[in-house]
Structure 1
């Protein structure tokens, strides 16, 4: 009898250990969101861990081709989810015609409202599919517009919102960036950039090409004054290193940027022109963390901090990252990791 009880006890321990073992998840598929098929990847060493939904910038700058290089180590503690947004990457390739023309650009507009709705629908799918109560949002640059809108509209879905390079007011932000980079060019006696800036004039523009030219000058100065990400971060995963995916990323980036910047000659309005969180994005019902590079020109630290100071939230934190510009580097990713841990109250 004693031997039988001991055997039962040992078996119960072993079965408990087996039951507690991590169950990995690795899903890459098209999911119907907003009436179209959109590309979503879910990968983790343990599907029971908290879900992190990353909202990429650009718009059009998908993260799915590079996720292992940047956030691969997060898979031990979290369930990272990457989404090729409407008009970007594999989602663009799945829904666009074989030959993309100007007519397609004009007849298929992108809007903040539609893409926010897409993000909320994806969140609802993930909660049901993964058996979760809440998701943590991490949005970068353009993704910070979606992230803030999603968090404001449906706080019941999210544990916290973590915004990196937060866009506060699209129009005034670009005017501020123009003025900042113009002063930097003067200080550097950079006549070539000053001539280009004079020819462009101050934004807003009615031609997407002008905004692209200003962005190149801004990125050049950010690069000179900040700590870059490791080059290995931007190496494509083998399954994305092919002609079709490359073309879809290229075409989707053009399409998305055209609608982001707007182009009056084609009748395309800038989809973020009305974004102003100072007016309609100050009251959150969930914790808010804003992560900001101190060398960021495009979304300047003083504008982000002014917004943060007015935000009302159950908990809020502003993190200024030394040496970081508008994009990612290791210090930014480390700050995001710390913010997620705080939001989830994990040690």
Structure 2
């Protein structure tokens, strides 16, 4: 081969190599690395723990708001609903006083609805800055559904959609509904023991301790989970799959107890049909047909009265209060579908 031919071959080899490198870089840029980070977000008087995960960093931000108050459900969300990380950048937030955000030395008087709303605003601003976005989808479960609506009411410009699961409406109305449900179910089954416990608890309004005792009776008759799972097995799965640390469980339970006690008087005043009659963001309620913990029939009535630019209600026919954990496959398929219907640009799974 002549020198000219060799030079010609070498030139084309370099062109091909350079082209391959550029193509690889372009491919890498369109498939950015998944997100998996833990954050300690500074708030007045402490820090909040947030786990941020997503397979596509350009996906919409979804902020999980757990129940309680103080009920850090992050391990359950991850155990049952991690598939949402394929469609969203999911923020698993431990609210003030809950889970890894619990501080035994903190003043429980700081656990107020107003403080939770301000905390959430700091979290939303930080995550949006990090992801280069301006809005989030809020997904609130139980107490988290009240927090999410209060936040969306205060900061509609930062919320692309709100999704309430096990939606709270009126607290006193909820407690009376619990009481009637347990009484009717116990009488129907001839359960004298449950009727005796209900009489000992007494009628609403409940203290935090009496609320927990009533919830146990609601669980007994299928109003919390339609079919109660073996919680020891659920906890074992969460530990084995790395979603919760064994030594963390005591802190989770302690945080829940402290928050329930500290916020009980304020929670008793919750009446969302009066406090949030209108909201300027699209709304969806995902309701369990058998939910008698907050009574999905009360939530459905609130949905009809709530004024919003767009509204969707979805019934989970085989769930009570915990649709994300009772029908997880349907839940993780429903959330992105509903978000798209509310105008959120949710892409295909990564």
Q: Secondary structure at the match of 1:151?
A: helix
> Residue in 1 aligned with 2:306?
311
CA 1:12/1:284 → structure 2, altered by over 3 Å: closer, same or farther? same
Deviation at 1:46, TM superposition (A): 2.2
> Residue in 2 aligned with 1:248?
251
Deviation at 1:335, TM superposition (A): 3.3
Deviation at 1:174, TM superposition (A): 0.8
Contact 1:55 1:82 in 2 (8 A): yes
Q: Does 1:279 align with 2:278?
A: no
Q: Secondary structure at the match of 1:177?
A: helix
Contact 2:167 2:294 in 1 (8 A): yes
Contact 1:45 1:75 in 2 (8 A): yes
> Residue in 2 aligned with 1:153?
154
Q: Secondary structure at the match of 1:80?
A: strand
Q: Secondary structure at the match of 1:182?
A: helix
Write the mapping of 1:133-282 to structure 2, written as runs, cut at 5 A: 133-205=134-206, 207-222=207-222, 226-227=226-227, 234=235, 235-236=238-239, 237-238=241-242, 240-243=244-247, 245-261=248-264, 270-282=265-277
Tell me which moved more, 196-205 or 51-60: 196-205
> Residue in 2 aligned with 1:18?
28
- When Rg is computed on C-alpha atoms for both structures, the one with the higher figure is 2
Q: Identify the match of residue 79 of structure 1 among 89, 92, 115.
A: 89
Q: Deviations over 1:300-346 (max 9, x none)?
A: 12211111111111110111111211123124444334323433254
Contact 1:288 1:313 in 2 (8 A): yes
Q: Secondary structure at the match of 1:127?
A: helix
Deviation at 1:31, TM superposition (A): 1.3
Q: Secondary structure at the match of 2:96?
A: coil
Distance across 2 between alignment mates of 1:135 and 1:180 = 36
Q: Secondary structure at the match of 2:222?
A: helix
Number of aligned residues: 328
Deviation at 1:155, TM superposition (A): 0.8
> Residue in 1 aligned with 2:41?
31
CA 1:90/1:78 → structure 2, altered by over 3 Å: closer, same or farther? same
Distance across 2 between alignment mates of 1:71 and 1:312 = 30
Deviation at 1:115, TM superposition (A): 0.7
Contact 1:110 1:271 in 2 (8 A): no
Deviation at 1:201, TM superposition (A): 2.0
Q: Identify the match of residue 104 of structure 2 among 89, 96, 110.
A: 96
> Residue in 2 aligned with 1:264?
none
Q: Does 1:48 align with 2:52?
A: no
Tell me which moved more, 20-29 or 129-138: 20-29
Q: Secondary structure at the match of 2:313?
A: strand
